[in-house]
């Protein structure tokens, strides 16, 4: 018996419904089990969207059928693996970082389903959850031309009995040794995922969103931001710190080009290509991609720069090269004429 027919349209519609339900549940002013239910729905939304992507590419979303058993559809981990293997992430959505973001929520979901999570982990997972919704919107819009924002006509700002956390956000956890160990274990799991993503040159802005007290999105988060201060002598607290540009922008120009060339499909880029694209698009002035200490001459680069440069086709680089040559020629002519005029 062949595998059952699965509608791509229904997968996408149900995926959007799950994500909207997650947002609605999370934003309810009074609800127990809020974080767990919201994360379960978000993970489900991604699983359906990934399966729709595989079906869109005429791939099976079922495991090989075993005798006497019904067809079983892919788990989210296997669906993620196949989307990554097929390089099916849309341009502008960094697959490595988005995968880590989803896996962070999957880890939280699995702990909730099979037992329960320690108190305090909801505040830890929130930055990943917020970024996940943004990643999902970009993914589904690029893949299926469906915009999550069409069904969400307002924005929520946090209103509560206490003010938003300051630059360092402290979250209370149970002081018992068993709870402390569980929180530390979960944080260590997240750090491992984030370290792997950062080492691969992932766009770290796709991992988590962190807000300061003015609700200005910081957009960068690395594993170093998850600084664990949970111990029997630390008042049971976890600290999430703002990011350090030395961690979010770790690559020299040479390392940037090397990592870009490993990921892009076109010809190998050179330092000249980096020079011309910086001239054209002012990348060195864009904090998302570049950072320079006031006492250092050279710039350093982020994982977002790797993702962006990897997505630019050869034709655009060639066109910018020609434009830059014309620009340099005009500048030289103007300089020569200025010198001749002075004489």
* Neighbouring-strand partners of residue 226: 240
CA 200 to chain centre: 13
Task: List Cβ neighbours of 153 (8 Å cut-off, separation of 6 or more).
Answer: none
Query: What span, in angstroms and rounded, lies between the C-alpha atoms of 148 and 132?
Result: 12
Please give the pLDDT value at position 19.
94
* Radius of gyration, alpha carbons of the chain: 23
Query: What span, in angstroms and rounded, lies between the C-alpha atoms of 77 and 55?
Result: 16
Q: What is the mean pLDDT of the chain?
A: 79
Pick from 243, 264, 248: which is nearest to 302 by CA?
A: 248
Please give the pLDDT value at position 84.
92
Please give the pLDDT value at position 65.
86
Phi/psi at 201 (5° precision)? 80, 25
Query: What span, in angstroms and rounded, lies between the C-alpha atoms of 50 and 136?
Result: 10
Task: Report helix, strand or coil for 291.
Answer: strand
Please give the pLDDT value at position 170.
35
∠ CA 143-149-151 to the nearest 5 degrees?
Answer: 110
The ranges of the chain with pLDDT < 50 are 163-175, 211-218, 224, 226-242
∠ CA 103-194-82 to the nearest 5 degrees?
Answer: 40
Instruction: Return the residue matching tokens 């201060």.
Output: 229
pTM of the complete model beyond 0.75? no
Please give the pLDDT value at position 210.
52
Please give the pLDDT value at position 327.
92
Query: What span, in angstroms and rounded, lies between the C-alpha atoms of 250 and 200?
Result: 12
Instruction: Return the residue matching tokens 């499909």.
Output: 265
Please give the pLDDT value at position 174.
45
Task: List Cβ neighbours of 129 (8 Å cut-off, separation of 6 or more).
Answer: 26, 35, 38, 39, 42, 105
Q: Is the dihedral of CA 299, 300, 303, 307 positive or negative?
A: positive
Host H or E run for residue 258: helix 253-263
Kindly report, residue by residue over 150-165, the tens digit of the pLDDT: 887 656 555 555 544 4
Residue boundaries of the structural domains of the chain: 8-248, 253-342
């Amino acid at each position: 018996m062949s595998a059952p027919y699965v509608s791509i349209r229904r997968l996408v519609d149900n995926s959007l419904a799950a994500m909207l339900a997650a947002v609605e549940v999370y934003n309810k002013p009074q609800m127990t089990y809020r974080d767990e239910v919201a994360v379960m729905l978000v993970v489900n939304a991604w699983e359906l969207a990934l399966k729709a992507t595989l079906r869109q590419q005429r791939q099976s979303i079922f495991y090989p059928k075993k005798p006497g058993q019904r067809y079983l559809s892919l788990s989210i981990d296997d669906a993620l693996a196949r989307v990554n293997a097929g390089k099916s992430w849309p341009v502008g959505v960094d697959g490595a970082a988005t995968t880590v973001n989803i896996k962070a929520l999957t880890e939280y979901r699995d702990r909730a389903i099979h037992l329960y999570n320690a108190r305090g982990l909801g505040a830890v997972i929130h930055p990943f959850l917020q970024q996940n919704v943004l990643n999902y919107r970009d993914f589904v819009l690029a893949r299926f031309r469906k915009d999550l924002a069409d069904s969400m006509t307002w924005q929520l700002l946090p209103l509560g009995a206490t003010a938003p956390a300051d630059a360092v956000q402290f979250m209370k956890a149970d002081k018992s040794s068993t709870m402390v160990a569980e929180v530390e274990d979960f944080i260590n799991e997240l750090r491992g995922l984030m370290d792997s993503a950062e080492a691969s040159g992932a766009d770290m802005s796709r991992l988590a969103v962190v807000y300061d007290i003015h609700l200005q999105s910081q957009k960068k988060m690395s594993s170093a931001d998850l600084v664990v201060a949970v111990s029997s002598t630390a008042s049971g607290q976890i600290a999430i710190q703002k990011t350090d540009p030395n961690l979010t922008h770790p690559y020299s120009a040479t390392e940037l080009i090397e990592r870009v060339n490993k990921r892009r499909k076109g010809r190998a880029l050179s330092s000249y290509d980096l020079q011309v694209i910086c001239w054209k698009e002012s990348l060195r002035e864009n904090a998302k991609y570049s950072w320079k200490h006031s006492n250092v001459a050279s710039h350093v680069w982020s994982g977002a720069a790797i993702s962006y440069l990897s997505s630019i086709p050869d034709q655009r680089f060639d066109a910018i090269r020609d434009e830059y040559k014309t620009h340099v020629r005009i500048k030289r002519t103007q300089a020569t004429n200025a010198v001749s005029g002075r004489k």
